[in-house]
Chain A
Amino acid sequence: MTEHEQQHGEEVHVVSYGRYVLIWLGLMGLTAATVALAGIDLRRWVIITALTIASIKGLLVLNVFMHLKFEDRVFHIFAMVAGVILLIFIVLVFFDYAFH
């Protein structure tokens, strides 16, 4: 799927057009799914399914479109730290809020 080339002595991945189109089709499909699911009364599962689908879409964009998958390990660690910090924000706010 990927060719290897050199950019400034650094090995780079050339992602094929086909692979990008495949990911795009997946993203469009997931968008259709989330809109269709919103029409069904899922009660408290509404927010969970919507956020799960959004997260899958986000990960597809991050990993393939943004090349995170092909980047150095340090990028993965950075991204995880940023994600965990955001999660801590959300969780701490809700703890504070619940016991207010």
Chain B
Amino acid sequence: MTTSAAAAVPHGHAHRDDLGSRMGMWLFLFTELILFGGMFVAYAVYRFDHPAEFELGAKELDTLIGTINTMVLLTSSLTVAMSITAIQKGKKKLSLLLVGITILLALVFLVNKYFEWHHKFEAGLYPQSPDLLNKPPGEILYFGLYFVMTGLHALHVIIGAIVLAVMMVFIQRGSINKNSYVKLEAGALYWHLVDIIWIFLFPLFYLIH
């Protein structure tokens, strides 16, 4: 296809710079990387200081739920990536379906997270809880980092799901289409970043033995 954008996209802007748009999104993602990176540094230092207590803390987490949630997020990354191929091929309905499945998987992740946290709270493990404060300092640090890092990550999952819901509206209305889909690409990039952060959170919190 070599038609000009103005001809191909009746309602599109005459001056569009998709490469620039994606570059802007990547720059934003780097700031997110630094935000989480700072926390990973804090995690590294405290784990270096309290290896045995981090191990004890990790034993309280449910590896099965963690593994299921990892697979849920990886699958959601697959479906959102495929939605771009679908829109590139002009398959609007398929693209909508794939983004819809991605949002559904985001909700599955959050429901699992809810049960996981709920279980911890019921066991008396939440920030500043008397039970937690009675534990050794290393375990208090472990659970502090656990709640802050997975909490901030869950917030990103919520924001990502909302962004993707808006993308569905754009696809439905046709402002994301075969010839112009950079908005969907940006939304998908955000979603993949959320996935990558979890790829690192999962072994660092769940798989210490």
Q: Which A positions have Cβ atoms within 8 angstroms of B?
A: 5-10, 12, 14-17, 20-21, 23-24, 27-28, 31, 34-35, 38-39, 41, 46, 50-51, 53-54, 57-58, 61-62, 64-67, 71-72, 74-75, 78-79, 82, 85-86, 89-90, 93-94, 97
- Which listed residue, B3, B33, B71, B185, touches A31 by the CB 8 Å rule? B71
Interface size class on chain B is 35 or more
Contact (Cβ within 8 A) B85 A15: yes
Whether A27 pairs with B74 at a CB distance below 8 angstroms is yes
Cα(A61)–Cα(B3), bound, Å:
32
Contact partner, A54, options B77, B85, B189, B200, Cβ 8 Å: B200
Note all chain B residues with C-beta closer than 8 A to A61. 77, 192, 195-196, 199
B2 within 8 A of A: yes
Say how far B207's CB is from chain A's closest CB, in angstroms: 4
Q: Which residues of B contact A (CB under 8 A)?
A: 1-5, 16, 18-19, 22-23, 26-27, 30, 33-34, 37-38, 40-41, 44-45, 48, 63, 67, 70-71, 74-75, 77-78, 81-82, 84-85, 88-89, 179-182, 185, 188-189, 192, 195-196, 199-200, 202-204, 207-209
Bound-state Cα–Cα, A94 to B45, Å: 7
Which residue from A31, A72, A86 sits with its C-beta under 8 Å from B74? A31
Besides the known contacts A62-B196, A90-B44, 13 further A-B residue pairs in the complex with CB atoms under 8 A apart: A6-B2, A6-B3, A7-B181, A14-B88, A21-B78, A24-B77, A38-B203, A61-B196, A65-B195, A71-B22, A82-B30, A85-B34, A93-B45
Given contacts A14-B88, A24-B75, contact A89 B67 (CB under 8 A): no
Among all A-B residue pairs, the 3 with the closest Cβ atoms: A50-B203, A38-B207, A24-B78
Query: How many Å lie between the Cα of A62 and that of B29 in the bound state?
Result: 12
Asked whether A5 lies within 8 Å of B16 as measured between CB atoms, the reply is no
Q: Tell me the nearest residue of chain A to B5, going by C-beta.
A: A8
The answer to whether B207 and A50 touch across the interface, beta carbons within 8 angstroms, is yes
- In the bound assembly, the distance between CA atoms of A61 and B67 in angstroms comes to 18
Known contacts A6-B2, A97-B45: A28-B74 contact under CB 8 Å: yes
What is the bound-complex CA distance between A56 and B78, given in angstroms?
Answer: 16
Residues on the B chain within 8 Å of A20, using CB: 78, 81-82, 85
Partner of A86, one of B33, B192, B202: B33
**Is there contact, CB below 8 Å, between B82 and A8?**
no
B41 and A93 contacting across the interface, CB-CB below 8 Å: yes
Return chain A residues, CB-CB under 8 Å to B200. Answer: 51, 54, 58
Are A31 and B67 neighbours in the complex by a CB distance under 8 Å? yes
Q: Looking across the interface, which residue of chain A has its beta carbon closest to that of B6?
A: A8
Given A5-B1, A8-B18, A97-B48: A39 touches B209 (CB 8 Å cut-off): yes
